[in-house]
């Protein structure tokens, strides 16, 4: 049996898309590797209480999850998609084994990942990403014990600092890496504050919450380092140092392009957000006619914009499959586009304000580990370039960088930045890894199940 639509991911884009697809009569399946809907931003949203320390923006995900559950789409939790054929065949790995499905259209709603922050000492126990700790706060309700320091920049940094405070784990310090140059450059986009005033007020409320919590804030931090012998003991920077049990790093998020790269979809370098993103049209269509992308996987705009883009993609699919006329598609799309334009308006200000500094993208210290899976250092990457490596894929032959379980999800941006610096060329000139299936580790038993079904 062939489905009308397969959606990969049950975050805001996937949930919104699935609910609308069901309303329009599309036979739809939603596959998500997590056990419950919500994605990263709304993780475990169905268990959230009204007085959750995560706040009202987190609780805004409940209607999306409820609509997914109540809708006509088939929802498959704990089902990771590990292979997609351009012809529309998807391979899923779940507790019951491996299965394949076929769909006329595929919507990738794989969201974003945190940008890696390769400072000296970032592999020490006690050093995590801000998003990782937020996931622990959302799922089992865990908070870090001891002295916790948050470092980096971006809205999520303020949000998690306030959430930890409300959960009874007030951070010992907030170290902001935003430079004065960034603030001056962002001021040129101040006109966007009015059309994007909802987002602007939300940001101001986050900053106010940090101040009310009494969290010490230090601005203009550079030269950040995590220090310790067996685990984190101190956090140092140019002109200062603080004792710490936990260091939470964050320098923004970037699109999760692992699957879109594996499918060899057309991508382009986003100089404003310093990342690769798929080339999309106004409906989320990619360079393959049957594959669309919605949400932060197509460019960072946030949860509300993700839901809007998911609905737009479904309208395009419904029209192509004869469920809607083009006139009806466009009529339904008009208010979604207006709302999406409002979400986009504030983005240039944020992109310029929170643009990562060079020392946060790649370290000068050769001893810093760039590829955590294979324990490859920055110095080894530079040596590979001196030996002739021109890009990340060629570097694998010299260092095994990017050949571990994550297939370059964590080290890819770091490796590309180091190669570009060593070659004295722009980052986009060195390219990116070319991931292959399986996108994430799959058991031999799961693959054997495919053989039993005649698929291999």
Tokens of 219: 């601005």
Q: Band the pLDDT of 296: cuts 50, 70, 90.
A: very high
Taking every pair of Cα atoms in the chain, the longest distance, rounded to a whole number of angstroms, is: 65
Q: Is residue 183 part of a domain?
A: yes
Instruction: Please identify, among 223, 251, 279, the residue that sits at the C-terminal boundary of a domain.
Output: 251
CA 240 to chain centre: 31
Tell me how many degrees the CA angle 232-215-172 measures, rounded to the nearest 5: 20
Task: Give CA–CA dist 153/306, Å, rounded.
Answer: 22
Contacts of 19 (CB under 8 A, 6+ apart): 64, 67, 68, 70, 71, 73
Q: What per-residue confidence (pLDDT) applies to 363?
A: 86
Domain that holds residue 152: 116-251
Q: What is the CATH number of the domain that holds 374?
A: 1.10.10.1100
Q: How far is CA 92 from CA 9, 35, 438, 442, in A?
A: 12, 14, 10, 10
Same domain for 239 and 128?
Answer: yes
Percentage, residues of the chain above pLDDT 90 = 82
Q: Is the pLDDT of residue 130 over 80?
A: yes
The lowest-confidence range among 375-379, 392-396, 438-442, 447-451 is 447-451
Q: What would the pLDDT profile of 77-119 be if each residue is shown by its tens digit?
A: 999 999 999 999 999 998 768 889 999 999 999 999 999 999 9
In a domain, 416, yes or no: yes
| pLDDT, greater one: 94 or 75 | 75
Measured distance CA(132)–CA(319) in Å, rounded: 39
**Quick check: is 88 in a domain?**
yes
129, 217: one domain:
yes
Q: For residue 351, is it within any domain?
A: no
pLDDT band at 182 (very low <50, low <70, confident <90, very high): very high
211 shares a domain with 145: yes
Where residue 145 sits, what CATH number does that domain have? 3.50.50.60
Asked if residue 290 has pLDDT above 60, the reply is: yes
Instruction: List the one residue out of 343, 353, 278, 272 whose CA is nearest residue 309.
Output: 343
Are 415 and 402 within 8 A, CB to CB? yes
Computed over every residue of the chain, the mean pLDDT equals: 93
Q: How confident is the model at residue 1 (pLDDT cuts 50, 70, 90)?
A: low
- Structural domain includes residue 436: no
Final residue in a domain of this structure, among 251, 276, 298: 251
Which pLDDT score is estimated for 453?
57
Mean per-residue pLDDT, 252-262: 97
Q: Residues 119, 238: contact at Cβ < 8 Å?
A: no
Shared-domain flag, residues 64 and 136:
no
**Residue 52 or residue 329, greater confidence:** 329
- The pTM assigned to this predicted structure is 0.94
How do residues 352-393 score in pLDDT, each as one tens digit?
999 999 888 888 899 999 999 999 999 999 999 999 999 999
Q: What's the number of domains the chain is made of?
A: 3
Please state the rounded mean pLDDT for residues 193-220. 90
Q: How confident is the model at residue 454 (pLDDT cuts 50, 70, 90)?
A: low
Is the predicted pLDDT of residue 50 greater than 80, yes or no? no
My answer on whether 220 and 234 are in the same domain is yes
Query: What is residue 140's predicted lDDT score, i.e. its pLDDT?
Result: 75
């Amino acid at each position: 049996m062939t489905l009308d639509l397969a959606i990969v991911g049950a975050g805001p884009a996937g949930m919104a898309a699935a609910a609308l697809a069901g309303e329009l009569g599309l036979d739809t399946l939603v596959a998500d590797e997590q056990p419950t809907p919500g994605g990263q931003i709304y993780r475990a949203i169905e268990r959230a209480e009204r007085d959750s320390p995560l706040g009202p923006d987190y609780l805004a995900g409940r209607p999306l999850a409820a609509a997914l559950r109540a809708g006509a789409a088939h929802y498959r939790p704990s089902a990771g998609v590990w292979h997609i054929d351009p012809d529309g065949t998807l391979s899923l790995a779940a507790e019951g084994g491996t299965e394949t499905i076929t769909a006329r259209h595929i919507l990738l709603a794989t969201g974003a990942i945190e940008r890696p922050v390769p400072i000296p000492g970032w592999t020490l126990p006690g050093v995590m990403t801000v998003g990782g700790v937020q996931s622990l706060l959302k799922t089992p309700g865990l908070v870090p014990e001891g002295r916790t320091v948050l470092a980096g920049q971006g809205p999520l940094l303020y949000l998690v600092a306030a959430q930890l405070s409300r959960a009874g784990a007030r951070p010992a310090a907030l170290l902001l890496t935003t430079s004065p140059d960034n603030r001056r450059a962002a001021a040129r986009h101040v006109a966007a504050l009015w059309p994007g005033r909802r987002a602007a007020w939300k940001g101001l409320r986050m900053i106010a919450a940090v101040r009310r919590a009494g969290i010490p804030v230090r601005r203009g931090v550079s030269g950040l380092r995590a220090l310790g012998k067996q685990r984190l003991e101190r956090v140092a920077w140019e002109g200062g140092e603080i004792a710490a049990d936990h260091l939470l790093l964050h320098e923004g998020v970037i699109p999760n392009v692992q699957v879109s790269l594996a499918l060899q979809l057309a991508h382009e370098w986003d100089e404003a957000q310093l990342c690769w993103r798929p080339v999309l049209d106004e409906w989320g269509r990619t360079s393959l006619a049957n594959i669309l992308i919605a949400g932060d996987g197509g460019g960072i705009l946030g949860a509300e914009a993700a839901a809007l883009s998911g609905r737009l993609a479904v309208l395009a699919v419904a029209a192509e499959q004869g469920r809607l006329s083009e006139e009806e598609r466009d009529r339904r799309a008009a208010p979604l586009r207006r709302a999406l334009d409002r979400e986009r308006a504030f983005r240039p200000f944020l992109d310029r304000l929170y643009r990562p500094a060079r020392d946060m993208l790649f370290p000068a210290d050769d001893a810093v580990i760039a590829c955590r899976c294979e324990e490859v250092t920055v110095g080894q990457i530079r040596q590979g370039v001196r030996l002739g490596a021109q890009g990340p894929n060629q570097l694998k032959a010299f260092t095994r960088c990017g050949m571990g379980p994550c297939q370059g999800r964590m080290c890819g941006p770091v490796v590309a930045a180091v190669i570009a610096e060593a070659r004295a060329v722009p980052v986009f000139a060195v390219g990116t890894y070319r991931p292959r299936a399986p996108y994430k580790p799959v058991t031999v038993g799961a693959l054997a199940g495919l053989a039993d079904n005649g698929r291999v």
